[in-house]
């Protein structure tokens, strides 16, 4: 479980991004943060793997304050998928996915079988794709690799910041379906940022609506639709 207790964030230039945020994200939940641009979604997400630290308040994971985790272990335990496709262009797909397992010094055989397994999980044939470079894949395929990479070291939590927003509508719908299906299979916690309510309603177990750095409503898609 990830818990935010009275978390606020003011950036160095004085911008107040979050005010007194309280949130509880359960294990294995598909949790969606939604709201207009600038409402604090990315700030909230980045705090979970300490790319940003709060100005005040406490964030804990499994009852332990995240500030007390070793930062590398925390980041290995929390996969991150960005909006902009962030694969290393000079590296093959296999090398891109293997970065964290190699940092963790898994043996070569285990890394290779993990890469194959992950590519299968995200719907890419390892024999066809693992030796290619990112620019030999479509945008949707590259995001699939991004998801595989985030899952590589078997994290407990996966953070996704508008991962599909740069894709064409058809690839996007397919990836939404596939990520929901994948999550049901692997039962990891996913925290997903979007500004698209249709996407949120389609994929979320629970949706957190944010506005101007505050939580407006948290509920299931059913709650959100019936008690706006």
118 vs 160 by CB, closer to ligand ADP = 160
- Can residue 140 be called a binding residue for ligand ADP (CB under 6 A)? no
Regarding 124 and contact with ligand ADP (CB under 6 A), the answer is no
Least distance in angstroms from the C-beta of 159 to ligand ADP:
12
Residue span 23-42 as binding mask against ligand ADP, x where in contact by CB under 6 A, dash where not: ------------x-xxxxxx
Distance CA 156, CA 175 (A): 21
Interface with ligand ADP, residue 63, by CB under 6 A:
no
For the CA atoms of 132, 134, 136, 140, the dihedral, rounded to the nearest 10 degrees, stands at: 120
Position 11 contacts ligand ADP (CB under 6 A): yes
First to last CA, the chain: 26
Report if residue 207 touches ligand ADP, rule: CB under 6 A. no
Q: Which residue in the set 6, 15, 113, 131 belongs to the binding site for ligand ADP (CB under 6 A)?
A: 15
* Cβ within 8 Å of residue 218, ≥6 positions away: 23, 206, 207, 208, 209
Does 17 participate in binding ligand ADP (rule CB under 6 A)? Answer: yes
Task: Report how far residue 84's alpha carbon sits from residue 70's, in angstroms, rounded to the nearest whole number.
Answer: 27
Give yes or no for residue 7 binding ligand ADP (CB under 6 A).
no
For binding to ligand ADP (CB under 6 A), which residues are involved?
11, 13, 15, 17, 35, 37-43, 83
């Amino acid at each position: 479980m990830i818990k935010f207790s009275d978390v606020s964030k003011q950036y160095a230039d004085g911008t107040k991004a979050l005010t007194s945020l309280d949130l509880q994200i359960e294990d294995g939940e598909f949790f969606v943060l939604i709201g207009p641009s600038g409402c604090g979604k990315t700030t909230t997400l980045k705090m979970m793997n300490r790319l940003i630290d709060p100005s005040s308040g406490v964030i804990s994971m499994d009852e332990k304050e995240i500030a007390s985790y070793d930062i590398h272990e925390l980041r290995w335990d929390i996969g991150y998928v960005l909006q902009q496709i962030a694969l290393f262009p000079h590296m093959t797909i296999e090398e891109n996915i293997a970065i964290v397992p190699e940092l963790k010094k898994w043996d070569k055989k285990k890394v290779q079988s993990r890469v194959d397994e992950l590519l299968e999980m995200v719907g890419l044939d390892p024999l066809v794709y693992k030796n290619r470079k990112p620019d030999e894949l479509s945008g949707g395929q590259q995001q699939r690799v991004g998801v595989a990479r985030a899952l590589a070291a078997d994290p407990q939590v996966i953070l996704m910041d508008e991962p599909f927003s740069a894709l064409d509508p058809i690839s996007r719908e397919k990836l939404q379906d596939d990520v929901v299906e994948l999550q049901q299979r692997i039962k990891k916690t996913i925290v997903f940022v979007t500004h698209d309510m249709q996407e949120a309603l389609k994929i979320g177990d629970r949706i957190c609506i944010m506005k101007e750095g505050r939580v407006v409503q948290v509920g299931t898609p059913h709650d959100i639709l019936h008690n706006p």
